[in-house]
Structure 1
Amino acid sequence: MGRLMKRFALTVPFENLDVIHDTTWHLDENSLFRKIVENDRGGMCYELNPLFFYILKGMGFRGQMIAATIDGNDTTMQNTHIASVVFHHDEPYLIDVGFGMNLPLQPLPLTGEWVHSITGNYRVVKTDICGTYRFEKHKNGTLKMSYTFTLAAIDETAMNEARDAVHTSAASPFNKAYLMSKLTDQGHMTLTETSYTTVIDGEKHKKDIDQETFRKLSQQKFSLHFEG
């Protein structure tokens, strides 16, 4: 499973082109396959994680999609992070291949056990609220990112509602400017309209760019094209 998660992250970028362009359609297994696989695109968490879940389901894994709330988010952005939980020997594991560059690249047990990846150290712990868990990313001993979730199964309606909130909420961090990121063999890379950042063997390199360079890099590094 870990190899499959890493291959997915190396191949499919996290990107918000459809959010910025306000392009929407009904999200389901067929439309996600068409966009990401047939059209060689990336997507947001509510696209990447469901597609990966459908792949796992087709391989015979048992589980469900779940909704999470990123800690610190506005109330309009509650339950807008979509991930999945699968069961192995009846034990649940969190699967997340769609959280930007916050990628464990392995299934996360819900026992507090640490999982280490090239992007950081991860665990899932129980909270003080019954039935609620917290995903945590730590780096250099510091908590960098977290979200809370339950094991309640969601359907495609919740996926589409999450998409709508990300597109329309004033509190959404993804509807203001282009953002692309993807795992690399030595780290990861992130592209915005004003900067290109790479992390190679733990060293961060960031450079300012202009619009022409942004368009060139979006095509060269992320296989994403702009009209005009």
Structure 2
Amino acid sequence: MPPSQNLDAYLERIHYKGSLDLSIETLQGLHVGNCLNIPFENLDIHLGHSISLDPDHLFEKIVGQNRGGYCYELNGLFAYILEELGFKVTGLMARVLIHRKPEPRNHHVLCVHVDGRDWLVDVGYGGRGLLAPIPIENKQTEKQFADTIRLVETPENHWTLQTLIEENWEPQYEFNLAPYRPIDYIPGNYYHSTSPESLFTRITLCTMPTTDGFIQLRNQHLTITANGKSVSEKAHSLEEYHRLLKKNFKIELKGGFTPPW
């Protein structure tokens, strides 16, 4: 797959028709397009597929098969695309803070240096995180469609991403600027896709932000939030589940799907 063909197909996948110059405007457009069109999902685990981080495999799955992925896949492909365009990209690792028990650093995020600033980039969170890049600067607050987010620097030289939820700043994850190489993500990817202790082996999950809210299909339960109001629906059969998956995320699974519910 020549890079030019890869790029054209990717841009069509995210419905992006803007400039490709090395600017924050380009980065923002690509980031928003990716988030609004490529879902966060872990369905390959329940199709019995191993999760490959090879760029060609990621491209074929996410672009060729109109699928999504989780952080190692989505941010892995996005880093590859950005580097093909000439952006300076550094891989980072974050610690998710939304769970009750302490978590190791196992969430893949990116730092992109453009227009003289470092920007946090993350198209693979799956929760109430970024829709667009945010400068890595203390108390930098931004309204991004339905959510308001900010970065807060800690005394330990870490950065915490927070989302304003019901007038409270809720921490999403923390990270520092220590660089990671592609090989460094292999252990975390293996753990998340194979360990019985991993959330992703115990549930099926598909999420995607929208311009006015969020869509989540967790196991059989679909929740659509728009303008602060939520509606829910439950799939009572695999047939209904596949219908919800196709209608809300444009995903069609083929054979071997064995959900844990």
Asked if TM exceeds 0.5, the reply is yes
Cα displacement (A) at 1:185: 4.0
Counterpart in the other structure of 1:16: 42
Cα displacement (A) at 1:16: 0.6
Q: How does 1:106-121 map to 2 (within 5 A)?
A: 106-111=132-137, 112-121=139-148
Cα displacement (A) at 1:157: 1.6
Between stretches 7-16 and 187-196, larger displacement belongs to: 187-196
Between stretches 5-14 and 203-212, larger displacement belongs to: 203-212
Change (3 A) 1:116 1:104: farther
Task: Measure the CA separation in 2 of the matches of 1:73 and 1:22.
Answer: 29
| TM-score for the superposition, normalised by structure 2 | 0.79
Counterpart in the other structure of 1:221: 248
Q: What 5-or-longer segments of structure 2 have no aligned partner?
A: 1-26, 257-261
Return the match for 2:86 from 56, 60, 71. Answer: 60
1:140-194 CA distances to partner (integer Å, 9 max, x unpaired)? 2213342111111112222222211212334422221211112334322111332
Q: How does 1:27-46 map to 2 (within 5 A)?
A: 27-46=53-72
- Matched to 2:66, the amino acid is D
Change (3 A) 1:74 1:158: farther
Cα displacement (A) at 1:113: 0.8
Counterpart in the other structure of 1:150: 176
Counterpart in the other structure of 2:119: 93
User: Is the Cα contact below 8 Å between 1:106 and 1:115 reproduced in 2?
Assistant: no
| TM-score for the superposition, normalised by structure 1 | 0.89
Between stretches 175-184 and 8-17, larger displacement belongs to: 175-184
Task: Measure the CA separation in 2 of the matches of 1:101 and 1:148.
Answer: 14
Change (3 A) 1:214 1:26: closer
How large is the Cα RMSD of the aligned pairs? 2.0
Task: Measure the CA separation in 2 of the matches of 1:93 and 1:179.
Answer: 28
Q: What 5-or-longer segments of structure 1 have no aligned partner?
A: none
Cα displacement (A) at 1:22: 4.3
User: Is the Cα contact below 8 Å between 2:51 and 2:189 reproduced in 1?
Assistant: no
Percent identity reads 27
SS at match of 1:218: helix
Counterpart in the other structure of 1:5: 31
Matched length? 226
Counterpart in the other structure of 1:135: 161
